[in-house]
Structure 1
Amino acid sequence: MATTTAPVKPGAKRPWWRSEAKESYKVNWSATIIMLVASLTILIPLYFTVVMALKTPEQTGIGTGLELPSPMRLQNFVDAWVTVGFGDALLSTAFITVISVAGALVSGSMVAYAIVRNWQHRLFKITYVYILAGLFIPFTVVILPLVKQTAVLGLDNPLGVAIVHIVGGISFNSLLFIAFIRSIPIELEESARMDGATTWQVFWRIIFPLLAPMNATVGIFAFLASWNDFLLPQLLIADPTLQTLPVVQSLFQGEFNTNYNLAFSSYLMALAPTLIVYIIAQRWVLSGVMRGSVKA
């Protein structure tokens, strides 16, 4: 039997349980359940990492991964820092990451702007296809020539790793920037040129500030790619004292045993900067992806 509610008299205050927002609100339970299940794929490994980082060596046996540490051992973080020279590795990783992110933003945006605003020329269309072709070249095909080339040029160091990250990311980053720049009205540039602005001034004073949402998106991709990279630093950096965090963290894994508590303490410390960067830039990420997918 259908139920009815008494109408609200004109001028009368609507009760809180009959507010318009509550009457129009409807929970999508299927989407909510999917989101909760998907979140467990992140929360469970994160919980496992935190718990293992706080355990003593005696508590890290088989089948004890989900048990709470008793007692908690904060000394693991100090031991992990000293064991692998975490400070030096952190500086090396930060150097590579900062150079890679800055280079990715500058190179990707400049290449994309040149292609979009000169699309009527055949040379730039060919350049666009040539750059995108880099997405289909397997990295394993070029890794050995890269190792040889960086050694010959004296780039077998963190700077060389950063340069390889910048060059290797131009294809993907340019693709993102191109979609975004196409949504920027060209009338903004035309008015600036009428006031005497050069192409360089138009790009840095008008276009680049408008790229803030996409800069955040590309910056996070470049940050994660360089911060978590294991293969390139291991192959390119010749000096062991200049190695990055992912490489030195492999020292916790021996031939016959693994120091789990120190390893997970190190992983947790290396995870902290990525969380901080994402929290700072996350509000621009979604807007950059959404706007870059729409062509004006």
Structure 2
Amino acid sequence: MKQKTNWPVTILIALGSLFIFLPLYIAVSIALKTPAELADSVFALPLGFHFENFANAIEATNFFAAFKNSAIITIVTVVFTILTNSLVAYAIARNMHRKFFKGLYYYFVSALFIPFPIIMLPLVKQTSALGMDNPGGLIFLYIVYGAALNIFIYVGYIRSIPMELEEAAIVDGCSTWGVFWKVIFPLLSPINATVGILTCLWAWNDFMLPLIILNDPADATLPLVQYVFQGQFSTDFNLAFASYLLALSPMVIVYIMAQKWIIGGVVRGAIK
């Protein structure tokens, strides 16, 4: 029997694809055009592929220095986020029957509902007073602010792991630390991947925290150096979009390769 086409769903998928690919086409097209071609039409195909726009954008933004800053901040943030947040979540998950740990869990989750603009100005003043207006302070804030969502995800997953595995390890002579690192942590691989990827995307693409925290222009990350194209009266849109594509490309590759971990891990973590 011939399957009937679901036209409403097909039309919605087509429209959704159009909304996704049209901005991408415009971005790539603008990045490969000259200013004269942009003046004629934004939507038209470029008459030639002006790859020199990418070289000029790299020079204008000191791209590789900013790339190094973003890479260091992102990698260190991901590593320490996984190590610290998983430990805290394990302690909470295995002690949810105690009022203190249950209250601590809801305390962390409640942070998800606090808008960032409310704490932005006090944050700037406090980090400046403590000498944390540098990449080290920025990394610390990423770890702290990411804890709310990460602990929510970790706790749900850890509670689904049978206690019998830990009891057997304790009988074999493992300490609490040994149980976590030898038994629990290896089982957290799917959630570790999810948390790592989400943290990576956030730390790499974030603009607001580096803008208000970093004091030295030499520490600027990739999102910050895009400011170089925001002139008072004019903008080199072709160079700007070339720079945007250069900054976005590493994370696009990461997301395409790891999207199954993101979706699967979030679902697993939110089940229980």
Q: Same fold (TM over 0.5)?
A: yes
The residue type paired with residue 121 of structure 1 is R
Residues matched between the structures, number? 272
Per-residue deviation, 1:287: 2.2
Q: In the alignment, does 2:10 pair up with 1:37?
A: no
CA contact (8 A) 1:48 1:66 kept: yes
Match of 1:116 among 90, 93, 109: 93
Alignment of 1:162-173 (within 5 A): 162-173=139-150
Aligned twin of 1:56 = 34
Q: In the alignment, does 2:240 pair up with 1:273?
A: no
Aligned twin of 2:73 = 96
* Worse-matched range after superposition: 209-218 or 172-181: 209-218
* Worse-matched range after superposition: 78-87 or 93-102: 93-102
Per-residue deviation, 1:25: 6.9
Per-residue deviation, 1:217: 2.1
Per-residue deviation, 1:256: 0.9
Q: Which of these two proteins has the greater Rg computed from alpha carbons?
A: 1
Per-residue deviation, 1:144: 2.0
Per-residue deviation, 1:24: 9.1
CA RMSD of aligned residues (A): 1.9
Aligned twin of 2:164 = 187
TM-score, with normalisation over the residues of structure 2? 0.93
Alignment of 1:113-152 (within 5 A): 113-152=90-129
Aligned twin of 1:294 = 271
Q: Matched residues in 2 for 1:289 and 1:29: separation?
A: 31
CA contact (8 A) 2:127 2:137 kept: yes
Q: Matched residues in 1 for 2:2 and 2:162: separation?
A: 38
Aligned twin of 1:157 = 134
Q: Matched residues in 2 for 1:101 and 1:125: separation?
A: 26
TM-score, with normalisation over the residues of structure 1? 0.86
| Deviant stretches of 4+, over 6 Å | 23-26
Q: Matched residues in 2 for 1:202 and 1:280: separation?
A: 31
Question: Aligned pair in 2 of structure 1 residues 116, 273: CA closer, same or farther (>3 Å)?
Answer: same
Q: Matched residues in 1 for 2:14 and 2:245: separation?
A: 23
The residue type paired with residue 184 of structure 1 is I
The residue type paired with residue 213 of structure 2 is L
Question: Aligned pair in 2 of structure 1 residues 30, 194: CA closer, same or farther (>3 Å)?
Answer: farther
CA contact (8 A) 2:108 2:148 kept: yes
The residue type paired with residue 57 of structure 1 is P
Per-residue deviation, 1:48: 1.0
Per-residue deviation, 1:272: 0.8
Question: Aligned pair in 2 of structure 1 residues 53, 128: CA closer, same or farther (>3 Å)?
Answer: same
Per-residue deviation, 1:86: 0.6
Match of 2:24 among 35, 46, 52: 46
Residues 138-197 of structure 1: CA deviation (Å, up to 9, x unaligned): 222222222222222222111211111110111111111111112211221111111111
Give the secondary-structure state (helix, strand or coil) at the position aligned to 1:78. Answer: helix
Aligned twin of 1:67 = 44
Aligned twin of 2:226 = 249
CA contact (8 A) 1:56 1:72 kept: no
CA contact (8 A) 1:212 1:284 kept: no
Query: Which protein has the bigger helix share?
Result: 2
Per-residue deviation, 1:220: 2.3
Residues 240-262 of structure 1: CA deviation (Å, up to 9, x unaligned): 11111111101101111111000
CA contact (8 A) 2:198 2:262 kept: no
Q: In the alignment, does 2:210 pair up with 1:233?
A: yes
Question: Aligned pair in 2 of structure 1 residues 166, 24: CA closer, same or farther (>3 Å)?
Answer: farther
Q: Matched residues in 2 for 1:29 and 1:198: separation?
A: 60
CA contact (8 A) 2:30 2:241 kept: yes
Per-residue deviation, 1:28: 4.8
Q: In the alignment, does 2:154 pair up with 1:213?
A: no
Per-residue deviation, 1:289: 2.5
Match of 1:262 among 218, 230, 239: 239
